[in-house]
């Protein structure tokens, strides 16, 4: 179980004081945002184009949560890039976002799915990058003694964002419910492929938790949606439902 306690309030206050002015909670609004990934579908559709195309495939995540939207040339977008480079303030903010979301909404996972995760994993960067992924460093702090399942990225020739379990390798594991973390969801191909790789090893349930749902404002529907995201970020809203929990 993640370490909870009074430290949680410190993370929440840090998010509010340094990020709430430019981060934006995702919306779970039927027929306005994708019911799977909170992206923007074509008008009148329940799922975005990518989720619609993968629907029904074996290995997909069972439950997904998202913290904030981000898009090109936004401060949220710059934060998601800088936290992996050497932006100390961005790293601290992303660290607080992930730590708070994992710990404060830990029981929400069991409420929605019937069980708490018994292991965690993260979606690794594409093959060839060295060093510990910052997501792994942050997550190992909050997830404490919960076992980590190390997913690795493979080299492949097809579209890196395609849904394909062979893009990743997961080791044999006895875990039945894995919390799968990712920093940015653009098309969802990475997280869903990693989910399928874990399920191929016998994992029964995947709960995905993503820091930023990336939006593409070159689509006019999305551009309008972004322009109407006026509300400051509230970390207490549930990443799995968009409502208080
Ligand atoms: Zn979607
Ligand atoms: Zn919650």
Domain 7-227 has CATH 3.30.1370: no
Q: What is the pLDDT of residues 99-149, one digit of tens each?
A: 999 999 999 999 999 999 999 999 998 755 667 889 999 999 999 889 999
Residue length of the chain:
245
Total-model pTM: 0.95
- Whole-number Å distance, alpha carbon 26 to ligand 2 midpoint, is 13
Nearest to 135 by CA among 89, 178, 174, 80: 80
CA distances from 155 to 19, 132, 159, 166, 169 (A): 36, 18, 11, 9, 11
What spacing in Å lies between the alpha carbon of 107 and ligand 1's midpoint? 24
Strands 119-122 and 177-185: parallel
Token pair listed for 168: 């990743």
CA distances 171 to 86, 89, 174, 224, Å, are 31, 34, 10, 43
Q: What is the pLDDT of residues 80-90, one digit of tens each?
A: 999 988 789 99
Q: Classify 67 as helix, strand or coil.
A: strand
Cβ neighbours around 174 below 10 Å, total: 11
Q: 240 CA to middle of ligand 2, Å?
A: 6
Ligand 2 center from residue 35 Cα (angstroms): 17
The alpha carbon of 244 and the centre of ligand 2 are apart by a number of angstroms equal to 7
């Amino acid at each position: 179980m993640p370490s909870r306690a009074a430290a949680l309030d410190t993370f929440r206050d840090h998010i509010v004081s340094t990020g709430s002015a430019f981060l934006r909670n995702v919306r779970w609004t039927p027929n306005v945002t994708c019911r799977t990934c909170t992206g923007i579908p074509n008008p009148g559709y329940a799922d975005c184009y990518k989720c619609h195309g993968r629907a029904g495939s074996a290995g997909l995540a069972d439950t997904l949560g998202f913290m904030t939207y981000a898009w090109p040339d936004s401060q949220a977008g710059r934060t998601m890039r800088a936290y992996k480079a050497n932006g100390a303030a961005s790293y601290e903010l992303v660290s607080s976002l992930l730590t708070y979301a994992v710990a404060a909404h830990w029981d929400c996972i069991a409420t929605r799915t019937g069980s708490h995760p018994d292991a965690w994993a993260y979606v690794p960067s594409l093959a060839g990058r060295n060093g510990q992924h910052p997501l792994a460093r942050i997550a190992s702090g909050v997830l404490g003694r919960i076992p980590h399942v190390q997913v690795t990225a493979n080299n492949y020739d097809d579209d890196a964002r395609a849904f394909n379990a062979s893009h990743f390798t997961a080791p044999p594991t006895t875990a039945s419910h894995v919390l799968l973390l990712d920093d940015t969801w653009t098309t969802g191909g990475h997280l869903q492929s990693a989910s399928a790789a874990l399920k191929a090893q016998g994992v029964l349930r995947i709960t995905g938790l993503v820091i930023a749902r990336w939006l593409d404002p070159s689509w006019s529907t999305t551009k309008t949606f972004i322009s109407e995201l006026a509300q400051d970020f509230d970390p207490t809203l549930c990443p799995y439902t968009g409502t208080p929990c």
